[in-house]
Each structure stands twice: as C-alpha cells, then as structure tokens.
Amino acid sequence: MAKKKAVKKSDAKATEEKMVTVFIMGKGYKVPAEATIMGAIEYAGYLLKRGAGCREGFCGACATVYRMPGDYKIYTGLACTTRVEEGMWLAQLPASPAHKAIYDIKKIKPEVATIQELYPEVFRCVACNSCSKACPQDLEVMDYIQEAKRGNIAAVMDLSFDCVMCGLCAIRCPAEIVQYNVGLLCKRLYGRYLAPESKELTKRIKEVKSKKFDKEFKELMTAKKSDLEKQYYDRDLES
C-alpha cells in the first residue's frame, strides 16, 4: 500500500469527517467516504487475489453481499460500482458454485426442448423476481427466464446481453436456477443458428483461417506485459 501523506492538524478534523467505518470480513476499518467497495478493500490493505475486470481479470468477479445497520436485508452489488456507507458490513464472494450444462452446440437446436433438457430447473421458476432485484446490472432477469420457458431464444439473448455473470442472481433464487448460464446458452444458440449473417465476420474468419494474422498473433503472444499494456491503453476508442 502506498505511504500516506502527512495531515496537518488544521486539516485533521476535516479529513476525519470524510472517512466512514465499514466492516470487511468482520473487521472494522476507516475508509474514504467516497470510495467504492473495491477501493475500500484495497485501502484497508487487502490484495484481490481473484482478478476483477478492472484489475487485470474478468468483469463480474467482484460480487459482494452486504448489510446496513438496523436493516435486516442482505444487499448485493459489484464492488467496483457500489459505494461504501457508514456501518456497512460486507463480504466478497470469491466464486458462486453453479450447475453448468455440458453440450455440443452443433448437436442442439434453438428450441424450448433444448432448455428443458439442459436446464430443467428453469421450469420451477415461481416469478418471485428475486433474481432481478439482485442484479447489479439492473437486468430484468426474471423476464428472460420467462422467455426461456417459452423457447424464445432471441428474447433471452437480448435481455441477458449485458450480463457479467457475477452469480448474484443464482444465489438468491429459491428455484435453484443458474440464470446466467441459461442466458449464455441462448446467446450461443442465437449466434449459431438465428443471428443474421455478417459478411464482414465471414470475411474475417476466412482471413484468420488463411493465417493472414499469424505474424501479429505471434508478436502478441511473445510480447512483454509492459508492451501489451501500452498497446491496450493507446488503442483507438469510440468517443
């Protein structure tokens, strides 16, 4: 952790007022009031071992559950976007154990029978909406599960498109549905069978198969981390 700058006595009170007390894994810490949960965890001296998307890992890996003083509810959120509050008790979920069906995309069809076979628990959904309430992306998770029950693959793909697979919906589901894996199945089915053909994509696939980019691939695979970081941050971005 970086060394803290000295605070003048005249600024001490003001600095103290900008701090809040949170409890991380049961232990209390003073952290900046404007910090996200992830920032507070790092400020407290913890090292995030499982890489989150903004820490050279993958997005959705910072799922967090927390409670507030005097409130019986358990809240959910992503540590990268949820701000700390005074008295917050929080714990991170290093992983969310979940059933994932094994299938060959070439041997299944984009129809309701496929969902019935691979994820029969979908049909236990009681429409309680707990999954939607838990979603940090504000996705209508229950709605896409209802569409899955109807075999509407395109609707499931569309409604689940922004899912980061953090697992928070699944841990709150009384029917034991793994909603994000259902969404992933439907996105794969849509891409394989239902998506309109992209001429540009077809052209690029042919170029890859013809080894047009092999030289660039080899350079990337053997590049130093510092060089990769420079290329990543210097890339062209949409305004």
- In the chain, the domains with their CATH numbers are 18-92 (3.10.20.30), 105-194 (1.10.1060.10)
Contact 137, 162 (CB under 8 A): yes
- 32 pLDDT higher than 50: yes
pLDDT at 125 (0 to 100): 96
pLDDT at 23 (0 to 100): 96
Q: Which residue has the higher pLDDT, 106 or 52?
A: 106
pLDDT at 50 (0 to 100): 59
pLDDT at 233 (0 to 100): 86
Lowest mean pLDDT among 21-30, 48-57, 182-191, 215-224: 48-57
**Contacts with 221 (C-beta within 8 Å, 6 or more apart), sequence order:** none
In this prediction, residues 21-48 reach a mean pLDDT of: 91
The two structure tokens encoding residue 128: 């309680």
Look over the chain and give the mean of its residue pLDDT values, rounded to a whole number. 88
In this prediction, residues 221-233 reach a mean pLDDT of: 90
Q: Which residue has the higher pLDDT, 50 or 169?
A: 169
pLDDT at 2 (0 to 100): 37
H helices of 3-58, in order, are 9-17, 37-43
- 6 pLDDT higher than 60: no
H helices of the chain, in order, are 9-17, 37-43, 112-118, 130-134, 141-150, 153-159, 168-171, 179-189, 199-209, 214-222, 225-233
pLDDT at 62 (0 to 100): 85
- 9 pLDDT higher than 60: no
pLDDT at 63 (0 to 100): 87
Considering the chain, what percentage of its residues have pLDDT values greater than 70?
87
- 88 pLDDT higher than 70: yes
pLDDT at 25 (0 to 100): 86
* pLDDT per residue as tens digits for the range 90-134: 988 877 778 899 999 999 999 999 999 999 999 999 999 999 999
Q: How far apart are CA 143 and CA 127, in angstroms?
A: 9
* pLDDT per residue as tens digits for the range 151-170: 999 999 999 999 989 899 99
Q: How far apart are CA 61 and CA 134, in angstroms?
A: 15
Predicted TM-score (pTM) of this structure = 0.75
pLDDT at 16 (0 to 100): 53
